[in-house]
Structure 1
Amino acid sequence: MSTPDQPAPEPGGFKPPAKDPWKSFRGVCSGMLILEAIVVLLAIPAVAKLGDGISGGAVAYILVLAGLMILGCGVQGRSWAIGFDLALQVAMIAGWLVHPVVGALGLLFAAVWVYMLYLRRDIQERIEQGLLPGQRD
């Protein structure tokens, strides 16, 4: 039985965590998108010096991609945020057509996002098993 100041146990028999574990995960996702946007923007001068340089269309692609990453930081609380984040990674890998360096950065960050998905699944499993510190008595 639960009291007004104490949450009721969930169907699995474990009480919900006292602090929202997803809040910190959303913060990590936002931080990763900002870091990725910075790296992508810093790639413009590097790519411009490699080979034949970089076209105006390629710069526009990179700027739009970085802008979407920065805007993506604000939607991490939405149910579709992870899908949006992964779509940005696909767009980064597709940037290989703009310049191979952009695609290589896309592969690197895609690997990081795969690890983030692993962490997301791990958090969900721990919640379901009642293993988070806020769920223990």
Structure 2
Amino acid sequence: MSKPPADPMRSFAAVMAATLLLEVVVVLLSMPVVANLGSGLATWQGVLVGALALALLLTCAVLRKPWGIWAAAGLQAVMIVCWVALPALGILGLVFGLVWTILLWMRWDVARRMAEGTLPSQQAAANTEPESTGD
């Protein structure tokens, strides 16, 4: 008995969670920028960076929910809007916004190809199925 092929959408959730974790690390690395160029870590700018990092981290837990991916994409928009408060966060928002745009496009493309039945894993499964003898 062969095991069923892997679900590509589960793999996408893992890739998106890893991207969010990377983004959390990068946002937290902007803390020295806030400390040196901003008004300090104990001010609203420091709280903004910390709250954004926490929101990104918590979003990892809800990525498998239907609205989780859109929550993650919405946080990218929030980061871009943060340009007003901290230009460094706005630049990070643009960079990660581009990454999320690419990830969402790839997810859409895989879903389309799954619906058409043209994924390589679907082709391999079709080639290994036993043929019926018609008896």
Query: Does TM, normalized by the shorter one, top 0.5?
Result: yes
Provide the residue aligned with 1:120 in structure 2: 107
Provide the residue aligned with 1:13 in structure 2: none
Alignment of 1:104 onto 2:86: no
Cα distance in 1, alignment partners of residues 27 and 91 from structure 2 = 11
Please tell me the residue identity of whatever aligns with 2:58.
L
Provide the residue aligned with 1:26 in structure 2: 13
Q: 1:23 offset after TM fit, Å?
A: 0.7
- For the residue of structure 1 that corresponds to 2:15, the secondary structure is helix
Alignment of 1:132 onto 2:119: yes
Instruction: Return the match for 1:69 from 56, 76, 80.
Output: 56
Cα-to-partner distance string for 1:12-66 (whole Å, 9 max, x where unaligned):
xxxxx7221111000011001110011000001023223x544610111111110
Q: Which runs of 5+ in 1 are unaligned?
A: 7-16
Deviates more, 1:77-86 or 1:53-62: 53-62
Please tell me the residue identity of whatever aligns with 2:57.
I
Cα-to-partner distance string for 1:62-91 (whole Å, 9 max, x where unaligned):
111100111111111100012101110011
Alignment of 1:60 onto 2:47: yes
Q: 1:128 offset after TM fit, Å?
A: 1.3
Q: Give the share of equivalent positions with the same residue, in percent.
A: 37
Provide the residue aligned with 1:44 in structure 2: 31
Deviates more, 1:17-26 or 1:69-78: 17-26
Aligned residue pairs total 122
Cα distance in 1, alignment partners of residues 46 and 107 from structure 2 = 33
Q: Which runs of 5+ in 2 are unaligned?
A: 127-135
Q: 1:94 offset after TM fit, Å?
A: 1.3
**TM-score, length-normalised on structure 2?**
0.83
Between Structure 1 and Structure 2, the one with more helix by share is 2
- For the residue of structure 2 that corresponds to 1:34, the secondary structure is helix
Q: Which has the higher contact order (CA 8 A, sep 6+)?
A: 1
| Aligned-residue CA RMSD (Å) | 1.8
Cα distance in 2, alignment partners of residues 105 and 27 from structure 1 = 21
- Choose 1 or 2 for highest CA Rg: 2
